[in-house]
A and B are shown apart, each in its own frame.
Chain A
Amino acid sequence: MGRATSSSSSSIDSNNHQSLSSSSSLSQLKRDLSTDLRLGLSISASQHNSSSTPRVQTLDYPPIQSLVAEGNECNDHATFFVKVYMEGIPIGRKLDLLAHDGYDDLIRTLDYMFNTNILWGAEVDTMHPEKCHVLTYEDEEGDLMMVGDVPWEMFLSTVKRLKITRAGPC
């Protein structure tokens, strides 16, 4: 699969070559690779943080055909849109649950979307009068449930739609 990615040529200049051949010890290799990186060869923004392993992306490694790599690097191919209604507002919104990595992320998006503060999970038990809304969802069986009781993945497998309701008088 000779796919057209930004085909960085795998050139290592001859200086690096000599050091590679004289002693192919790991530290030598790391030093040479980090020289390449400092010389500003095109690298992506997301740098690998581990201290012991050098980035080899510029060197066309690992040997994986780029489409498989591209397709799998970003997990946003799958989407899961659900309807979201706020009590009292007849027109709903739609939200991609898979674009969020957990409850916190989801609540943040909803707070922004509906311009409110939403109680969920444990917060509901300790009611703050200034926070007016709670987040509930309709599950596969049609029941209205409080968001946050079950693990995120389990939630994803049963949720059908979201509803933001009033917590109490505010």
Chain B
Amino acid sequence: MMNYFPDEVLEHVFDFVTSHRDRNAVSLVCKLWYRVERYSRQRVFIGNCYAISPERLIARFPGVKSLTLKGKPHFADFNLVPQDWGGYVQPWIEALARSRIGLEELRLKRMVVSDESLDVLSRSFTNFKSLVLVSCEGFTTDGLAAIAANCRFLRELDLQENEIEEKKNHWLGCFPDSCTSLVSLNFACLKEINLAALERLVARNPNLKSLKLNRAVPLEALQRILMRAPQLVDLGTGSFVLDRDSDDSETYRKLRTTILKCRSIRNLSGFLEVAPHCLPAIYPICVNLTYLNLSYAAGIHGSELIKLIRLCGKLQRLWILDCIGDKGLEIVASTCKDLQELRVFPSDPFGAGHDAVTETGLVAISSGCPKLNSLLYFCQQMTNAALIAVAKNCPNFIRFRLCILDPTKPDPVTMQPLDEGFGAIVQSSKRLRRLSLSGLLTDRVFLYIGMYAEQLEMLSIAFAGESDKGMLYVLNGCKKLRKLEIRDSPFGDMALLRDVGKYETMRSLWMSSCDVTLGGCKTLAKKMPRLNVEIINENDQMEFAPEDSQKVEKMYLYRTLVGPRKDAPEFVWTLV
């Protein structure tokens, strides 16, 4: 029936299909749909920049306006991937600049970005509106200056957790006076900023809805900025510290009055530096908050955190440090009935945290917040009984990431592995898409995961399992698995090679400090030409002509349509 409609009608219908996956599915129906879909596609997501080339992207989707690219594997966040591994955005920007693509939005994660790339980007796309860089590196504030100066219709500049070299230039001052289109600005990851330029910028951008400051913005400046921008929805404070002197109580009073006017703030973060006695200034807006991130706010005692949380009845997402303690989590459980996402970070990851949280806090949360669907929880210990209770109270987990600070710690009450606890989680949360395991775990937990985690897409394993059977349970059972990352676990060639076709259904597999050998990896590479099987050979761990029986320290494999990458450094070997 749809074949009798002109293309424009099909296109109009497809406009309502927005998710990447749905559009991908649409394109597979028939050649006609493929054609209509590709010309009308505006947003493209590429989860691995080495799976495809910029030329093929441009050829297939000439109308693309928004591109998302991801580079390094996830474990790069934890220092497991050496410098210069790759993930360069330059070839993408060059290719797009040469083409007729009218790029408006670029979102990059874990990629290497250079000042030159930013410069080319800023000058090649007249309608460029939005730049989002997450966990990227390789550029300086000179690159930011180019973006500020040349992107005349810039709406969004969002810098999250990047490593940026800061030059003496005042890049923020490079926004011309005519720039009045900003909606979102986040520079929290920088150390410095030109305050005067910032205040002028905020003053002339009345549509600013999201502003995240850095540590260099003192409280007095925050007050002046909020006076200019009471319409903010999303605020990241910079430094939140004042002396208790009489000169500063005037500033504090002004801040309190100004904050009272900021009735639109729903998301609050920052507090990169904070003095507890300043916190009451934000009490008036707590009642409206749906997102609160205090995970950088070192130095606030649990009791202060509790006073704050008690006011936040509408909270849906909370990111906090473990100094809130189990008692504090009980308060969260009784106050934040709409809570969907909780992240508890360790304030002292490498020591014995006395204020830390345990299974008690998590059970309290699960019992008070049944809507909880996303969890990241760093804790000292966990029990099977607690996990079973959590599974029962919260059957809606989409993301469940548990990190016990001692990675192989058993249930301290029964001294058993945590297989049963995680088993309960995967059995009860039928929509679970992401799971990270920790604690003492045998092959049994993987049996449960393979049996029950039907929607699982990403699994992170560290120091777990006993034999190849563990990995096999997962590869056989989890039909929707896309990303598997494993470290320090006894999985070897037998598991790796059992079902080589599986890896073409996945984005990538990372295995480090496991038992896979060079020979096993070579065999896999030979059988599967559409996988890049890369060995990272740091510090010349492998000799010049290593034996096939030698274990591989780090292996990263991913499906690709464009063969071995040409930009691999000499310590990365692509096996063929």
Task: Given A26-B410, A64-B378, A79-B241, check contact A5 B79 (CB 8 Å).
Answer: yes
Nearest chain B CB to A105 CB, angstrom units: 16
Q: Does B360 contact A (CB under 8 A)?
A: no
A150: min CB distance to chain B, Å = 14
Flag whether A69 is at the interface (Cβ < 8 A): yes
B490: Cβ under 8 A from any A Cβ:
yes
Q: Are the CB atoms of B347 and A72 closer together than 8 Å? A: yes
- B116 at the A interface (CB under 8 A): no
Nearest B-chain residue to A140, judged by Cβ? B244
List which B513-552 residues lie within 8 A (CB) of chain A: 513, 515, 538-539, 541, 550-551
Known A-B contacts A1-B77, A17-B513; the reply to A73 vs B349 at CB < 8 A is yes
Min CB distance B263 to A, Å, is 27
A11-B538, A65-B77 known; A153-B243 Cβ under 8 A? no
Interface segment among A41-49, A108-116, A119-127: the answer is: A41-49
Nearest opposing residue in chain B for A159, CB measure:
B244
B499–chain A nearest beta-carbon distance, Å: 21
Chain B residues in 8 Å Cβ range of A46 = 350-351
The answer, yes or no, to whether A63 is at the interface (CB within 8 Å) is: yes
Asked if B273 lies at the interface with its beta carbon under 8 angstroms from chain A, I say yes
Bound together, the chains give a CA A74 to CA B75 distance in angstroms of: 25
In contact, A48 and B347 (Cβ under 8 angstroms): no
A161–B245 Cα gap in the complex (Å)? 8
CB of B294, distance to nearest CB on chain A (Å): 11
Q: Are B77 and A20 in contact (CB under 8 A)?
A: no
Number of A-B pairs whose CB atoms are under 8 Å?
169
Docked complex Cα distance between A17 and B553 (Å)? 10
Q: How far is the CA of A8 from the CA of B538 in the complex (A)?
A: 11
- A63 to B303 alpha-carbon distance, docked (Å): 27
Task: Pull 18 A–B residue pairs with CB atoms less than 8 Å apart, ordered by A.
Answer: A2-B81, A2-B137, A4-B163, A7-B79, A8-B79, A10-B79, A21-B515, A24-B463, A48-B351, A49-B352, A61-B462, A63-B77, A64-B378, A64-B403, A65-B77, A68-B296, A73-B348, A81-B243
Q: B-contacting residues of A (Cβ < 8 Å)? A: 1-5, 7-12, 14, 17, 20-21, 24, 26, 29, 44, 46, 48-50, 53-57, 59-69, 71-83, 98, 153, 156-157, 159-161
The residues of B with any CB-CB pair to A shorter than 8 Å are 72, 75-83, 110, 135, 137, 161, 163, 241, 243-246, 272-277, 295-296, 298-301, 303, 321, 345-352, 378, 403, 405-410, 436, 440, 460, 462-463, 465-466, 487-490, 492, 512-513, 515, 538-539, 541, 550-551, 553
